Amino acid sequence: MSSFGSCLTMIRAAILAAALSMSLPVASRAGELQAKLDYCKTCHGLSGQGYRGYFPMPRLAGQQQEYLENQLRAFVERRRINPIMANVAHALSPSMVSGLSSHFQHLNPKPIGGAPSHSSPAGRQIFNEGLPEANVPACSACHGSDGHGQNEIPRLAGQLYEYMVGQLTGWSKVRGQGTSVDTSAVMAPTAHNMSRSQIEAVAAYVSTLP
């Protein structure tokens, strides 16, 4: 009887230990992910819709998971130059990178707005038809007619106007740095061939897309 009782106690202890060893790391991983999401959202907006700080922080909501993962790696590998994001991304494990990216892809807040609206009709035309005389293809050809992107091609819909202007005007100074292969090279000639006012028009247009 007593040996049966002690056996039961041991089994209970074993079950408890097994349960703890399984549930604790899962719980703490979920806690870590939530804490890291809160950290991302302090700058990128409480719904991931983007935020205008001293610098424009891009919208992450609805962004393609592959694109987000590739950019977080690009910051660490210095393919994309951004001192703040290099520090941020350096502290992320591979599983955290995919957890964060997956979370943001599934958010869908309204666009943050705030772009000058007068250039939007011209932007729509460039987005849908490109600028054949300037060798600029239609944005929609790769980013989709809804601007939602696919895989490593980013979503543009609802992106912050100031962020879009900043990226397109400074493309080759920030992206595709170093010697590693970087998919951003695809955009370099297109960004280069657009004038400031054409860039502003496209940025205003995509910022309104849901």
Which positions lie near other proteins, rule CB under 8 A? 35-36, 38-39, 41-43, 45-46, 51-55, 57, 84, 87-88, 90-91
What's the one-letter identity of residue 201? A
Least distance in angstroms from the C-beta of 90 to other proteins: 7
Nearest to 88 by CA among 59, 47, 97, 79: 97
Nearer to other proteins by Cβ, of 5 and 53: the residue is: 53
Nearer to other proteins by Cβ, of 85 and 142: the residue is: 85
Least distance in angstroms from the C-beta of 121 to other proteins: 28
Which residues, in sequence order, are CB contacts of 170 under 8 Å at separation 6+? none
**Cα 56–Cα 62–Cα 63 angle in degrees, nearest 5:** 65
| 8 A C-beta contact, residue 160 and residue 107 | no
Nearer to other proteins by Cβ, of 115 and 194: the residue is: 115
Least distance in angstroms from the C-beta of 73 to other proteins: 15
Nearer to other proteins by Cβ, of 8 and 46: the residue is: 46
Nearer to other proteins by Cβ, of 6 and 39: the residue is: 39
Nearer to other proteins by Cβ, of 90 and 106: the residue is: 90
Which residues, in sequence order, are CB contacts of 4 under 8 Å at separation 6+? none
3-class DSSP state of 194:
coil
Least distance in angstroms from the C-beta of 185 to other proteins: 27
d(CA 41, CA 34): 10
Least distance in angstroms from the C-beta of 202 to other proteins: 24
Place of tokens 């001293």: 54
150: left (phi > 0), else alpha (psi -120 to 50), else beta? beta
Nearest to 65 by CA among 86, 46, 48, 83: 48
Please, which residues bridge with residue 154 across strands? Answer: none
Least distance in angstroms from the C-beta of 148 to other proteins: 26
